[in-house]
Amino acid sequence: MARKFFGTDGVRGTANKYPMTADMALKIGAAAGRYFRNDGSNGHRVVIGKDTRLSGYMFENALTAGLTSTGMNVLLLGPIPTPAVGLLTTSMRADLGIMISASHNPAMDNGIKFFGPDGFKLSDEAEAEIERLMESEIEPAQANNIGRAKRIDDGRFRYAERLKGTFPAGMRLDGLKVVIDCANGAGYKVAPEVLWELGATVIPVGTAPDGFNINEGCGSTSPRTAAETIVTHGADVGICLDGDADRVMILDENGEVADGDQIMGLFATRWAEQGRLNGGTLVATVMSNLGLERHLEDKGLKLLRTSVGDRYVVEGMRAGGFNLGGEQSGHIVMSDFATTGDGLLAGLQFLAAMIETGKRASELCRVFETVPQMLKNVRYGDGADPLGELSVKAAIASAEEALVGKGRLLIRKSGTEPLIRVMAECVDDALLEKVVDSIVAEVEAVATVSA
C-alpha cells in the first residue's frame, strides 16, 4: 500500500503548506493517539521534542491538541535532539515519541517523526495504519478522559547524562580543543555542555537559533564555517551536527571533512579489532561509497546495504543482530548505545578513538580511498513523475550500459523532498560526469515541461 503522507522519515514539507499544516498535524496527532490508546485507559503518554524552527510552536500545539483529544497524556520536552526523543520514549515509559523537525532541510520546512514504545522509529505498517485512521472518523475521548499536557524540564539533562555514560570509563577530554557546530538547531545547548563537562575546551558555532537560521551556513550540510573556525583557533577537531543532531560530519585539524562513510569505516575497523562488531558486518545504504565496501572486504568484513533512510538501516541491523550502521550523510547508528542515529554520540566515539590511539583527527578521518562519486539533485513539480518518462528511462539505460564493469549508478526519488537524486560512481572521472549529466539533462527537461 502506497503511503500518502509519510516519507522515508515521517511526514515532511513546507510549513503551512499541505501536508505540513496545523490542521494536518492535529489529525496526525489524533490518529496516532487513537492508534496507541486502543484500550480506553488513561495511562497512555507521549513525549514530544522539537528543533528550533519557528513553526515548531505551531505543530507542537496542534499535535498536543490532537493527542489529548483522544486521551493521550503529553510530555513536552522543548528543543532537544531527535535521538533524545528515542531515548526518553523508553526511559519515561511512553507509548509514543514524536520529534518535530525537518532535520537538515531549510528553516521554512518542518516534519513529524514517530518513535514507538521501544524507542525505535515506527514501522511502515504502523505508519500505514495511522494514515488509514487519518482518513476515517477518529473517535474522540469522552470529556472526562481527555488527556493532560505538561512541560518536562529535565529531558535535556537526562540525555546528557546518558551520553556521558557512553564515554569510556575514566577517560577525559582534557587538553583537546573541539569546535562544535550545532547548526543553530536542536543540539545547541546540550552538545557544548556535554563536551565541556567531559573536559574539552569548547569553541561553539551555530548556537544562536532565532527560528529562521537553522542549517543556514552552518552544520553538517554546510561545514565551511566550522572549518574556518578550526583553523583560526588551532582546534584539534570539529564536530558538525545537523538541525536535529542525528547526523554528524567530523572535521580534522586542517578543516577537512570526513563523511559518514569514513566514520563508519573507522568504527567498523576498530570494533572488529576489539571483537565488538557483531557478525563482522556494517549496515549501510545503497548510497555508501564503493571504496568503503572494498575497505571492509580487505579487512575480512561485510557491508550489508539497505534502502536509503536511517530507519531502514536500523531495520537491517535489528534483523541481522548487527550493532553498527549508518549513512554517508552522517547518520551513525550504534545500537549498543542508542535506537537511532546520534551525531553527538558518534562525535564522542571519534574523540575516544583519538585519545585511545594518540592519533590526530587527520590520521583517523582517512580510512579508505573513495571511488569518485557524483551526486546531483533535480527538483520537480507536484504530481510529476520524471522517472516514468521514456526519455529518462532511455538515458538511464544508456548510462548503465556505459558503466558496466567500471562503476555503478543509483537513481531515486528523495523521501523527504521533491527531488530526483542522480548518483554514480566510476574510476573514470570523465565518464562519471558524462553519465550523470546526461540523466540530469533529461530529468530537467521533463521537470520543466511538467512545471
Active-site residue, 103 included: yes
CA proximity to 311, closest of 9, 46, 94, 55: 9
CA proximity to 209, closest of 201, 222, 200, 218: 218
CA proximity to 14, closest of 379, 412, 413, 447: 379
292-298 LR contacts (CB < 8 Å, sep 24+): 292/261, 292/264, 292/265, 292/368, 292/370, 294/368, 294/371, 295/265, 295/269, 295/367, 295/368, 296/265, 296/268
Q: Is the peptide bond before 418 cis (omega within 30 degrees of 0)?
A: no
Residue 110 near residue 39, CB atoms below 8 Å: no
CB atoms within 10 A of CB 337: 18
Cell numbers given for 312:
531502514
In DSSP terms, which residues pair with 13 in a beta bridge? 110
CA proximity to 112, closest of 123, 103, 125, 124: 103
Give the amino acid at 256: E
Cell numbers given for 163:
551520553
Which of 103, 220, 222, 335 is the catalytic position? 103
How far, CA to CA in Å, does 424 sit from each of 158, 283, 389, 412, 440?
A: 42, 20, 20, 12, 12
Cell numbers given for 442:
533529461
Give the amino acid at 84: A
Q: Which amino acids are annotated catalytic?
A: 103
